[in-house]
Amino acid sequence: MLQSLAAGFGAAVGGGFLPNQTFGIGSTASPMKRVIFFLQNQGFDPATCIPSEMNASGSLANAKLPEPIEALEPFKDRMHIINGLHGLHTSPSHSPFFGALGGYRGSDGVPPAGPTIDYELSKILPQTLLPHLCIGMDSIENMRAKPTVANLSASGAGQPIFMHSNPNHLYQLLYGGIAEGDIRNQHEARSSMLERIESMVSSEGLELPLGEKERYGHYLRGFEDMNGLRERLAKVSGHLKKFAPVVDERYTNPEFETDWHDSLLDLGISALKSGTTNTLTIGSGRGEIFGAWKGLGIEQQGHNLGHMKQKDNPIWIKIRQYNSRMLVKLMEQLESVPEGNGSMMDNTLIVYTSNNADKQHTNGSNWPVMLLGDCGGAFKTGCFTQLDGKRPINALYNSILRVSGVQADRFNMSEAMAKKYDSGTGPLKEVLS
């Protein structure tokens, strides 16, 4: 258990809390200071986001957003709906898992083939204590049984990044040092245990064979990372107190899984607003085919939801509306914090899509995406773009890297692969200003 804990934590922070390193060539100052990826499982039917009257690219100004995303109507001028990207090369079927954010082939049980876009951005964006935070939402039973899972993000080949799914554990990680009562006692007991384990681990393993010694070293670095984070957070405890959410019964005695979903979102927002992290990945369904939303009055859960058509389906309307309210909350909270000549939202990009293209059983030929935020005018907003299906999701990720100052022709795609799956090179001109 302790080995899994340490190895998972080390992967979750991408190898430690070190100053961010530049990715690629020609990195320059970026107008984007943070990015949020929100992936809903079971696919993203374009009919649930494209206004019915729009058959071609154009402005959203006079369009009416479909019912599933109508909560975003006040934010149309900050939105870009994109249809016609593809992920054929990711072989999604039920889910390509790491391939959704990696832009490479993936499947259940297949380790990541390389770093995912969220991790790469966390290295480029301004340095924070916890460069990358991943949270995963699922049924209450799954979140309790597996409080951390790794399905979506990776720091490199064979290096998955774990998602936090128990808000009590995540609160302890972020705010245990400034908490009171039982939370503080648990934090101090856990800290003492981890310090003793780190000391014990560091004195062992010296006579192991090389391969085992390397793996043992990963465990040791995981414990060092956990203990190092506590020390860094303790140094800014006065600052963190301003942002720590209130722990209520949603944490300790949730009635529905959506109580934990909401708590996890609050913790993610607090980590962004406090500057603890600059990259947040949200996996609703945790990158798989499961998930539950009983708090919305939906009794069906898991794989069966993927066999339902999403358009005009009251169940999927509720799920998508719930997502939209979360997106609105993210935007409003970031808008409330001044930054530079504007707000945090002015320097933030939100990427909303699915880990599974347009539907559960898919070949990935169409991968709808919604972007929210323009990062100081770097991205086009207030519009819908219909593409021809010849450019992959990698091209969108390359576009985000370009805004971040990275001059590269492709993201996670070889020239041989591009000849088969990409009709162009470089970023998508349709999304950049």
CA 6 to chain centre: 21
Q: Which of 116, 124, 125 is nearest to 39 (CA)?
A: 116
Note the pLDDT of residue 241.
Answer: 86
Helix (H) or strand (E) holding 285: none
Q: For 294-373, where are the alpha helices, taking DSSP H only?
A: 314-335
Residue 210 vs residue 309, higher pLDDT: 309
DSSP conformational letter for 432: B
For residue 229, tell me if it sits in a domain: no
Q: What mean pLDDT, rounded, does the chain reach?
A: 86
Q: Let me know: does 40 contact 326? Beta carbons within 8 Å.
A: no
Determine the structural domain holding residue 416 and report its residue range.
27-165+245-421
Tell me which of 120-134, 156-170, 192-206, 312-326 is least confident. Answer: 192-206
Length of the chain measured in residues: 433
Percent helix, strand and coil across the chain, each rounded to 5? 45, 15, 40
pLDDT beyond 60 at 193: no
What number is the average pLDDT over the span 11-34? 47
The answer to whether position 254 is within a domain reads: yes
**176 inside domain:** no
Q: Angle between the 167-175 and 181-202 helix axes, to the nearest 10 degrees?
A: 80
Specify the 3-state DSSP secondary structure of 355.
coil
Structure tokens at 215: 């793996």
Q: Tokens 């310090």 appear where?
A: 195
Q: Which among 375, 325, 323 is positioned nearest to 349, based on CA atoms?
A: 375
Total of domains in the chain: 1
- Tell me the average pLDDT across 387-397: 98
325-381: per-residue pLDDT in tens?
999 999 999 999 999 999 999 999 999 999 999 998 899 999 999 999 999 999 999
* Per-residue confidence band for 235, with pLDDT thresholds at 50, 70 and 90: confident
pLDDT of 27 reads 39
Q: Which of 35-39, 109-113, 238-242 has the lowest mean pLDDT?
A: 238-242
Q: pLDDT for 236-265, tens place per residue?
A: 778 888 899 999 999 999 999 999 999 999
Higher pLDDT: 233 or 249? It is 249
Cβ-Cβ contacts under 8 Å for 275 (sequence gap 6 or more)? 128, 129
Which of 27-31, 84-88, 148-152, 316-320 is least confident?
Answer: 27-31
Q: 404: closest CA among 19, 25, 140, 87? A: 25
CATH number for the domain harbouring residue 322: 3.40.720
**What value, to the nearest 5°, has the Cα angle with vertex 258 and ends 179 and 292?**
135
Q: Of 188 and 245, which is predicted with more confidence?
A: 245
Q: What are the φ and ψ backbone dihedral angles of 301, each rounded to 5 degrees?
A: -150, 165
Can you tell me the distance from the alpha carbon of 228 to that of 17, in angstroms, rounded to the nearest whole number?
A: 8
CB 305 within 8 A of CB 315: yes
Helix (H, G, I), strand (E, B) or coil at 100: helix
Residue 223 falls inside a structural domain: no
pLDDT more than 90, % of the chain: 69
Please tell me the distance from the alpha carbon of residue 9 to that of residue 7, in angstroms, as a whole number. Answer: 6
- The pLDDT of residue 226 is 57
Residue 411 lies in a domain: yes
Q: Where are the alpha helices (DSSP H) in 164-246?
A: 167-175, 181-202, 210-235, 237-240
Q: Characterize 254-281 residue by residue with b for buried, 16 or more Cβ atoms within 10 angstroms of its Cβ, and e for exposed.
A: bebbbbbbbbbbbbbbbbbebbbbbbbb
Most confident of 147-156, 166-175, 199-208, 216-225: 147-156
Q: How confident is the model at residue 76 (pLDDT cuts 50, 70, 90)?
A: very high
What's the confidence (pLDDT) of residue 93? 82
Q: Does residue 1 belong to any structural domain of this protein?
A: no
- Of the candidates 124, 77, 126, the one whose C-alpha atom is nearest the C-alpha of residue 272 is 126
Highest mean pLDDT among 82-96, 157-171, 316-330: 316-330
Beta strand 79-83 with 383-386 is: parallel
Instruction: Classify residue 284: in a domain, yes or no.
Output: yes
Percent of the chain with pLDDT strictly greater than 70 = 81
Q: What is the structure's pLDDT at 342?
A: 95
178 part of a folded domain: no
Reported pTM: 0.87
Tell me the β-bridge partners of 379: 432
